[in-house]
Amino acid sequence: MHAPLIITLRSGIAGGRMVYIGVGGEIDEQVNPTLQVHEGETVQINLINGEGAEHDIVLDQYAARSGRVQAKGASTSLVFTADKTGEFIYFCTIPGHREAGMEGRIRVLPGARTAPPAVAQDISRDPTDLSAPLRGRLPQTVRVDLATVELKGQLADKTSYDFWTFNGKVPGPFVRVRVGDTVEVHMKNDPSSVMFHSVDFHGAIGPGGGAEFTQAAPGEEKIVTFKAMVPGLYVYHCATPSVPHHITSGMYGLLLVEPEGGLPQVNREFYVMQGELYTTKPFGTNGHQEMDYGKLSTERPEYFVFNGAVSALTKAHPLRASVGETVRIYFGVGGPNFTSSFHVIGAIFDRAYEGASLLSPPLQGVQTVTVPPGGASMVEFKLQRGGRYTLVDHALSRLERGLVGFLQVDGPEDDEIMHKGAVMPVSRR
């Protein structure tokens, strides 16, 4: 299995002509660079809109064609397998652009390339990786550092994927502030990135939730400051076109705005988010998986995951607690497209904060909560009996596509609450 060869171009102006400009590697800053690939390689050419006019890129002889990028910073790709050797032309099909200078050559060389494959990293977020409750402190200014990092990560045991992340994990860091805080977000797009990135906080009021002020090119840092006005649990996500591509690749997280006085104390808090991935090859295929634009735009995912990867919450980081403890799960859906029917098999939520509203009283005695993409919920329950509980989306076909987590509860398996077989005689209790 081979990862695709990724080549990135951006549109721009050079010498008064409209051109493609190489981004990164040997072609960095070259105008209409000649691209060299090897026979048999899968090649993905990313096109970033560098100046704001509408563009695309096509390779006629391979019938490979990207979508159109219409706004500055927007991106698109085309993918093809280099099965014909020779020299071919890539160009922009917008009327007049090819004539204005937007064309270059791609050379497909005979024979395979020999290159070491990059190692896939663990990108799954530990659900206990969240900051401590604020316990009703006074409002203050909080600095939040987000680094947008693109990396080859492990989607499943033997499957990798090119994740785009906030701070290297999926979901991004759990951000906790209180109502009245001033939040200063520093978003740094890693110099090794090929894409623009940004961040939209649903818990912020203002243009694009901050996305308008944070569109950052590779290597750039952007800062936006907002006031946390309304308590609640909110999704944040990258909002750089194509937005669903950035979200499905892992760019989402949660912001908790605690109410004045804080939240009720619990023994344990967990951070869980759901997302779905649209890979070219079917669920369960070993090797490197690429994002499939066709499946993404028609909402036909292959993978559903909690915290970024298959088995993130079963093998890598199962949730753990003890009988008698009260737990709270901060649950959000990055999506980009699928609503979750979040349920814990074998448990009942004592309290569920519908829509993650902290201004309304919680519902009590709830089996399943509905959480839409770009939405969240908080559930709380006391652990009454030892054993293993299972986190699912009750749209259970998704369980067989990777969507499952465990809550391991230590302590007595109290027969009063449940036991195998018929009611026991009093003497045996």
Rule CB under 5 A: which residues touch Cu ion?
Answer: 197, 238, 240, 246, 251, 374
Q: Please give the Cα distance from 208 to 188 (Å, whole number).
A: 18
Helix (H) or strand (E) holding 294: helix 293-297
Going from the C-alpha of 80 to that of each of 72, 84, 230, 250, 396, the distances in angstroms are: 25, 11, 47, 24, 35
Q: Provide, rounded to whole angstroms, the least separation between the CB of residue 233 and Cu ion.
A: 14
Sheet containing 64-65: which strands, arranged edge to edge?
Answer: 35-38, 103-109, 86-91, 58-59, 64-65
Please identify, using beta-carbon distances, which residue of 167 and 326 lies nearer to Cu ion.
Answer: 167
Please identify, using beta-carbon distances, which residue of 253 and 405 lies nearer to Cu ion.
Answer: 253
Q: Provide, rounded to whole angstroms, the least separation between the CB of residue 32 and Cu ion.
A: 27
Please identify, using beta-carbon distances, which residue of 78 and 187 lies nearer to Cu ion.
Answer: 187
Q: Provide, rounded to whole angstroms, the least separation between the CB of residue 164 and Cu ion.
A: 5
The closest residue (CB) to Cu ion is: 238
Q: Provide, rounded to whole angstroms, the least separation between the CB of residue 374 and Cu ion.
A: 5
Q: Provide, rounded to whole angstroms, the least separation between the CB of residue 319 and Cu ion.
A: 27
Please identify, using beta-carbon distances, which residue of 32 and 193 lies nearer to Cu ion.
Answer: 193
Please identify, using beta-carbon distances, which residue of 59 and 183 lies nearer to Cu ion.
Answer: 183
Helix (H) or strand (E) holding 296: helix 293-297
- CB–CB of 296/245 below 8 Å? yes
β-bridge partners, 390 = 345, 406
List, in sequence order, every beta strand (DSSP E) within 157-310: 159-166, 175-178, 182-189, 200-201, 221-227, 232-237, 252-258, 268-277, 287-289, 303-306
Q: Provide, rounded to whole angstroms, the least separation between the CB of residue 223 and Cu ion.
A: 17
Q: Provide, rounded to whole angstroms, the least separation between the CB of residue 404 and Cu ion.
A: 26
Q: Please give the Cα distance from 320 to 334 (Å, whole number).
A: 24
- CB–CB of 235/202 below 8 Å? yes
Please identify, using beta-carbon distances, which residue of 191 and 261 lies nearer to Cu ion.
Answer: 191
Contacts of 16 (CB under 8 A, 6+ apart): none
Please identify, using beta-carbon distances, which residue of 246 and 385 lies nearer to Cu ion.
Answer: 246
Please identify, using beta-carbon distances, which residue of 6 and 59 lies nearer to Cu ion.
Answer: 6
- CB–CB of 147/216 below 8 Å? no
Q: Provide, rounded to whole angstroms, the least separation between the CB of residue 252 and Cu ion.
A: 9
Q: Please give the Cα distance from 162 to 79 (Å, whole number).
A: 14
> What is the number of other CB atoms lying within 10 angstroms of the CB of residue 295?
16
